[in-house]
Structure 1
Amino acid sequence: MKRSIYVLMFLVALSATANAQKLNHLSKSDLKKGWTLLFDGESFKGWKTASGAEVSSGWTIKDGILTATAGGKGGDIVTTNEYSDFELTLDYKVALTSNSGIKYFYTKYTTGGDLGLEYQILDDDLAEDNGQANHLAGSLYDIFQPSKSLKKLNRAGEWNSVKIIAKGQMVEHWLNDYKVVSFSRNSKSFKDAVAASKFNKVDPAFGSINKGRILLQEHGGEVSFKNIKIKKL
């Protein structure tokens, strides 16, 4: 009897481990909660380049991992769908010195071109753009720096988890299960930070548009993504 119990416990543990190791997978619980995969691990379905073309060879898919190759010149890629209130989660890793980002509410502005708020991805140690606090990993790029006390960043070559929550005017950036940025898009602090940023001449006001695509940035260095999923709020 005891042996049967041990065998059953082993099988349950084995099953749980197998499920935990599945890439780009939605559990029954995820589906019930309204989660949708943005990357199926096998194709570029649901994605296009920022210019509207098919995704080029500068992006690769191998073993369930989506990668912008170093020097591949694949360009940024965006979702074919637009999102307003959402929760987005994914895992990423950068190569040494690499720079990337996740843009949301990405759309065309009357003045300023195609833009979006950006969750910065960076090798904080060696990337060229590491000299400004609001350009570091987890920041709202060029607007708000991530919390120094809460930020726990894994080094280049290791996976980091991201969560972005946008609900109404409120936005949160999470890095490895810690909330590192939180702001309201209609707050004075946000508007003042935009006025002091490179986006101060954008029309309509930068960050005021409530709907847009999700963008994964190709910035010349290697960056990889997996487990990209979104839930409408």
Structure 2
Amino acid sequence: LAIRYESPWKSLRSDYELDLGGFVIIASDRGNERDSFIVKRFSGPDMASKLRMLQRIRHVNFLSVLQRFSFEDSYYAVFDHMSISLAHIVTSPPYLRICELAAILFQILEAVSYLEKQKLEHGSLNCSNILLSPQGIIKITYQETCRDITSSQPHLADVKAIGYIAMELMQKYYKEDGAIGLEDFSRYPSDSDAVDFLAATTSATSAGELLRHRLLRNDVQKEQLKWLVGIA
């Protein structure tokens, strides 16, 4: 993807800022105002490493870079506009059905498994920086902060984060003691696959291991998530 050595604001208009686990600019195309984008600005001593990481990560469940700009000692990356995060799903009234929970977790695990194969770790996964497209596709953001890991290190940060994400999706809050687990089993019985998966996140050593869990063995369909975007 070629870098354009000009101000992004020649072709884009900055409309407002949005908190997606960190503030980003929501911009529209000056030639077609119906097209909106997420714009991130990078500067400082770690800019080069972040740019390399953006270039390195290529997976359907990570937000893709559409355009790149270099202007006045800063770098701008332009992404598809998605305004609904899992944090919005958590704060919306409906509770997820097990099939919907599985469809979300499967896509997150596919992305983390990809990172594992690339010897990378995201390190800061949470419900705020995981987006949901109108088509039901999970898109993880802030991949520029991913870090290299050695083969001798377990990928525990991302695996543990998936446990917290699953817990928040299931009961809409964290436990006060910081432990992974449910306090109310009325929606997800203690002997259900969802609760067993949640427990498995406390001992699993990789996303690949969690992908083999029986919760995800059924026909997982991302299309089941489309309606959630409308109510979040």
Question: TM-score normalised by the shorter chain: which range applies?
Answer: under 0.3
**TM-score calculated relative to the size of structure 2:** 0.24
Greater helix fraction, Structure 1 or Structure 2: 2
User: Relative contact order (C-alpha < 8 Å, sep 6+): which is higher?
Assistant: 1
